[in-house]
Each structure stands twice: as structure tokens, then as C-alpha cells.
Amino acid sequence: MARSFVSRLTGSFSEGAAENPTVAMVEAAYRHHDLDFRYINCEVPPEKLADAVKGARAMGWAGFNLSIPHKVTVIPHLDGLGESAAVMGAVNCAVAHDGKLIGENTDGKGFLQSLRELIDPAGKTIVMFGAGGAARAIGVELALAGAKHITIVNRDPKRGQTLVDLLNGKTKVKAELAVWNGTYAIPANADVVINATSIGLYPDVNARLDIALDGLRKGLVVADVIPNPPRTNLIRDAEARGCRTLDGLGMLVNQGVIGVKYWTGVDVDPTVMKRKLEEIFQA
């Protein structure tokens, strides 16, 4: 067979793209499995998102990831949504299929897979900070996995209530809003605490959630979705108090494996991706 000099293109559209390590782990998987694909990390401001999607279509991209702040606003620029993305109202992975771009969501599935290594969310009480795209994805997956109660802690009451209404309206979980207008006290009955905000994301690595640290009791599962840096202040504070912790690397790897399968049809080795991230962050 003649050699092709045209690689299939994938990538990511976001703001703060320079801090997103997804390109390194996905490219490592492509090389390991000898896939003639490339991943291009693109800085795309909100007003240029429509042009970026049109460009991907024009160049025949196999698909792309969406990160902050495009997970919700990309939806009108796509041709349809997968089932979970439709429930969540958030997309982090667009997939070219039969000439159309279909929005999927791998964030929640990637997080859930990581969480289950520590605890089964079925029947559990969960506190989650944030109400954006990542929080939507995670909240829906936790609800579908049988979580009993989810408290959404958010500074913007309207945005927080929107997520609460989505969870109560489309799943069987009991969700409620806690308006985050001061130092938040984690309830004593919480089984899992999740940071689904960007607090602590590089370059603002010294940022801390405004929470009462005495609520980080021994045995509590504390998860942070931030991959860069993986050891956020929340993770450090939780470890120091005897909590069981889950950093953002596992979620990033798991959702990456799912995304690459969508684009290439290949089940890639997650350890290749994780090794690359650990090498980058010296985790």
C-alpha cells in the first residue's frame, strides 16, 4: 500500500490551552499504537469558536475536545448530541461521523471510572463545588450510577439552580443547592467531596476552595478534577487530614481513552497516557 502523507487530525479548543496537557498524553497513545493521527492544542476565544468548528469541518478533522469555556456554547455549532451529552447539556468531545459532528461527553465517565477505584457512588451523599460543564457531566454520571444525594455548592445561585433542576428533573437523585457566599462547612454526612471548579488550576496554583478545613475528616473521599497541577491545595489539605484523595490525572486519562476510541476506533493503553502525564508533572 502506498504511504499517505496526510494524517487524520484531532485536537482541542479552549482558552488557557497552553496549560492543557491532553495533547501530550494523546500523542503518546497515537505513537504507541502506530496511529497516523495528530492532536493539535488550539487557543480559541469564545468569539472565534464558530470559526474553529468550521475550520475543523473544512479540514476533515476526526474530532476534537472542548474545554473551558466552550463545553456548553459549542452545542449550537454541532449536528447532534449523544445520549449522555444531551442529558448533561455539555460537550467535551466532538466526533466526526458520516459527515456530521456529534457531541459526546467523556468527562463524567472518566471521573466515574476513577472514583470507583476508591468508592462506589451508589447510595452515597456527595458535595460538589461548581456548576459548569465538568460539574454537569460528573453530576449526571453520579446520579445515573445511583448516588443518593448531591449538594451543588456554587457562588452563582442561578447557574447552580439550573444544574440542580437538571439533576432532579432528569435523574432519580435528590439534588439541592447551597449558595457559596462565605466559608462553606462540609456536612458531616458527606461521603464524597468534589472540586469541579477551576480553583487551583495553573497558573493560579495557590488558590484554595473557601471551605472549613475541619470538615475534611479522616476517611472522606476528596476528588479534584484539575490535572495541572495534579496535587492541588485541596488534595494536599485533604491528605494531611487523612482523607482518601483522587487527583485530576485519572479522570483525564480515562476520558482520553474514551475520546481516542471515538476518533480512531482503537482501545488505547491507558498506562501509556498516565506515564506521560506523570513524567510531565513528576507525580
Domain annotation covers residue 190: yes
CATH number for the domain spanning 27: value is: 3.40.50.10860
Question: What pTM was estimated for this model as a whole?
Answer: 0.82
Alpha-carbon distance of 60 to 108, in angstroms, equals 27
Query: Helices 22-32 and 248-264 meet at what angle, rounded to 10?
Result: 50
Confidence (pLDDT) at 124: 98
Q: Are residues 98 and 141 in the same domain?
A: no
Confidence of residue 3 (pLDDT cuts 50, 70, 90): confident
Alpha-carbon distance of 169 to 224, in angstroms, equals 26
pLDDT in tens, 75-111: 999 999 998 888 888 899 999 999 999 999 998 999 9
User: Helices (DSSP H) in 73-187: which residue ranges?
Assistant: 83-88, 107-115, 133-144, 157-170
Q: In what helix (H) or strand (E) does residue 101 lie, and over which residues does it extend?
A: strand 100-104
Q: Are residues 226 and 171 in the same domain?
A: yes
Q: Any catalytic annotation for residue 71?
A: yes
Alpha-carbon distance of 33 to 46, in angstroms, equals 34
Confidence (pLDDT) at 45: 98
Alpha-carbon distance of 93 to 260, in angstroms, equals 10
Q: Are residues 163 and 222 in the same domain?
A: yes
Confidence (pLDDT) at 84: 83
Alpha-carbon distance of 272 to 274, in angstroms, equals 6
Is residue 1 pLDDT above 60, yes or no?
A: no
pLDDT in tens, 224-264: 999 888 899 999 999 999 999 999 988 889 999 999 999 99
pLDDT in tens, 60-72: 999 999 988 999 8
Q: What is the mean pLDDT of residues 130-159?
A: 95
| Arithmetic mean of pLDDT over the chain | 94
Q: Are residues 19 and 60 in the same domain?
A: yes
Q: Are residues 145 and 236 in the same domain?
A: yes
Domain carrying residue 211: 109-246
DSSP string, 217-271: -TT-EEEE---SSSS-HHHHHHHHTT-EEE-HHHHHHHHHHHHHHHHHS----HH
Is residue 2 pLDDT above 70, yes or no?
A: no
Share of the chain above pLDDT 90, in %: 84
Number of folded domains in the chain? 2
Q: Is the N-terminal amide bond of 270 cis, ω within 30° of 0?
A: no
Q: What is the mean pLDDT of residues 3-13?
A: 94
Active-site hit among 48, 54, 71, 109: 71
Alpha-carbon distance of 266 to 264, in angstroms, equals 5
Alpha-carbon distance of 231 to 247, in angstroms, equals 7
Confidence (pLDDT) at 20: 86
Domain annotation covers residue 3: no
Domain annotation covers residue 66: yes
Considering only CA atoms, which of 154, 218, 147 is closest in space to residue 188?
Answer: 218
